Chains A and B, each alone.
Chain A
Amino acid sequence: MKKTKTIFQEGNHKWIAIVRDPAKPNYLIDTNEYLVTHDGKGLLLDPGGAEIFPAVFSALSSEFDPTALVGIFASHQDPDICSSLALWLEFNPAMRCHVSWLWSGFIPHFGGSADTFVCLPDEGGDIPLDGLMLRAVPAHYLHSSGNFNLYDKVAKVMFSGDIGAALLPPGEDGLFVENFDRHIRHAEGFHKRWMGSNEAKRRWCERVSQMEIDMLCPQHGAIYQGGDVQRFINWFDELQVGVVND
């Protein structure tokens, strides 16, 4: 079963990370799921692949009533992001899935109906969660061509999807980045290969530098917090991406 860790709490407003399943087979890439709750309602960010649904569901339900989930935020269209969608919808068919308009015809192959999807325009937009306003921040081409991060300005937490992701070896897979220089080596190859556009990367770095972010939470690897957030943005800004040794 995956572990849960509350990474932010202020009254009835929480961010819970669902991470690190020791029983997960090695051939599946490890993923982090995040649950944002506010006033008893929940939004699940990148709920993960179908194969890890049992682990995510059980971990989530240990912390939160899953019937109070109102929606899913899918940063992009990959199978490790949301191929479990049909199972979540089987549990609660009324759940909505917020996703880039670009993928609104593709993700239904994982499940859902015409009523399921709330399409995000390229410029992003607000996603309300029972009085809390979350913000879908454009991160197109990083790595998907229709890609969003999710920003919570109250918690100052940014869910960054694949941006900031790292493929961590056993023994170095803590939930938070502890030594930036050592950690970032595990992120470098990932970003060079998976991020497709230097121009898009520059624009993202400029955009998020102006935001107040205490925690940058990627879908793989460890969470950047405090000074490591800006350290990461600077590192990413310098990195040449879209590189493949073919």
Chain B
Amino acid sequence: MTTALATTGNKTPQAGADLLRIVRINEEIKSVVNVAFKINIMALNAIFLAKRAGTAARGFGVLSNELRVFSQELRDCMASLTGLVYGCVGEVSRMLQDIRYTRLLRQAVAMSPVAQLSAVLAAREIENERHAESLGRQRKQLKMALEDAFRMVELGGVLAKSAKIEAAYGQSFAVPLAQVSGEFDGIVEEIRVSLESLRRSAFFAGK
């Protein structure tokens, strides 16, 4: 028995659940993109602040620059994740349609063993397999891209923590610099937690 024949019935809730999961992943990615934009603005302010603080905050300034670059790279990374998510949404939607058509064709074949209809069903099953394989590939790509994003955010966390240390050398600017670096650290941690939850999504448990 081919895959679609064997699994059409129980694949529907699986595909429906996958669609819900991928939509949730997309929503989470959108919130990370918003936060990444906030880091960019904060980093810009931190650069100005470091300039005002002069040589005492030179290290902080360098780190603020790095954080600004990080925020841009994170946004690019999220944009590519969004593209992959859209691909997965499209593929899961196609699979939902496949499942419905396959179910109806199966019923028709069971009720009327017309040879040509069996051939149509077989072709439909091959198409279903192709969509399932394509979703599998996109799911893997998304997982890898998510891992890349996670590693990037861990690096951002290191930058934010280093900025906190540098802030301590900021002399009279130490307090405002510490406040800014604390905010950086908090936001990067927020993104890390978001990405961590995405990595654990049951969507990636599928084949």
Q: Complex: how many Å from CA A50 to CA B111?
A: 15
B107 at the binding interface (Cβ < 8 Å): yes
B104 contact from A61, A62, A87, Cβ within 8 A: A87
Within 110-130 of B, Cβ neighbours of A (below 8 Å) are at 110-112, 114, 116-117, 120, 124
Number of A-B contacts (CB under 8 A): 43
| Residue A101 at the chain B interface, CB threshold 8 Å | no
- Is B108 interfacial (CB 8 A cutoff)? yes
CB distance from B143 to the nearest CB of A (A): 33
Within 8 A of B (CB), among A66-107: 66-67, 86-87, 90-91
Given known contacts A58-B111, A90-B124, is B116 in contact with A53 (CB within 8 Å)? Answer: no
Task: Select one of A1, A54, A55, A91 contacting B120, CB under 8 A.
Answer: A91
A51 interface contact, C-beta 8 A: yes
> Is B116 a contact partner of A54 (Cβ separation < 8 A)?
no
Give chain B nearest CB distance to A58 CB in angstroms.
Answer: 4
> B108 touching A90 by the CB < 8 A rule?
no
Please tell me which one of the listed residues B107, B110, B117, B124 contacts residue A66 in the complex, with CB atoms under 8 A apart. B117
Residues of B in contact (CB 8 Å), total 14
**With A66-B117, A87-B101 as given contacts, are A61 and B112 in contact (CB-CB < 8 Å)?**
yes
State whether the Cβ of B53 lies closer than 8 Å to any Cβ in chain A.
Answer: no
B120 x A50 contact (CB < 8 A) = no
**Is A141 interfacial (CB 8 A cutoff)?**
no
A67 touches B116 (CB 8 A): yes
Are B111 and A55 in touch, CB under 8 angstroms? yes
Give bound CA distance, A1 to B117, whole Å.
17
With A53-B104, A54-B104 as contacts: A91 and B112 at CB distance below 8 Å: no
Q: How far is the CB of B65 from chain A (nearest CB, A)?
A: 52
Kindly provide the distance from the CB of B93 to the nearest chain A CB, expressed in whole angstroms: 14
B120 x A66 contact (CB < 8 A): no
State in angstroms the CA–CA spacing of A57 and B107 once bound together: 10
Q: Is the pair B111, A54 in contact by a Cβ cutoff of 8 Å?
A: yes
Instruction: Give the distance to chain B from A212, nearest Cβ to Cβ, in Å.
Output: 36
Contact between chains at A90 and B112 (CB < 8 Å): no
Known: A62-B112, A90-B124. A57 touches B117 (CB 8 A): yes
With contacts A61-B114, A66-B117, A91-B117 taken as known, whether A54 is within 8 angstroms of B101 at the C-beta atoms is no
> Are B107 and A54 touching (Cβ within 8 A)?
yes
- Nearest A residue (CB) for B114: A61
**Bound form: Cα–Cα A54–B100 in Å:** 12
Does A90 lie within 8 Å of B105, measured CB to CB? yes
List 24 A–B pairs whose Cβ atoms lie within 8 Å, in order of A's numbering.
A1-B111, A50-B104, A53-B108, A54-B104, A54-B105, A54-B108, A54-B110, A54-B112, A55-B111, A57-B108, A57-B111, A57-B114, A58-B108, A58-B111, A61-B114, A61-B117, A66-B116, A67-B116, A86-B101, A90-B101, A90-B124, A91-B116, A91-B117, A91-B120
B residues adjacent to A (C-beta < 8 A): 100-101, 104-105, 107-108, 110-112, 114, 116-117, 120, 124
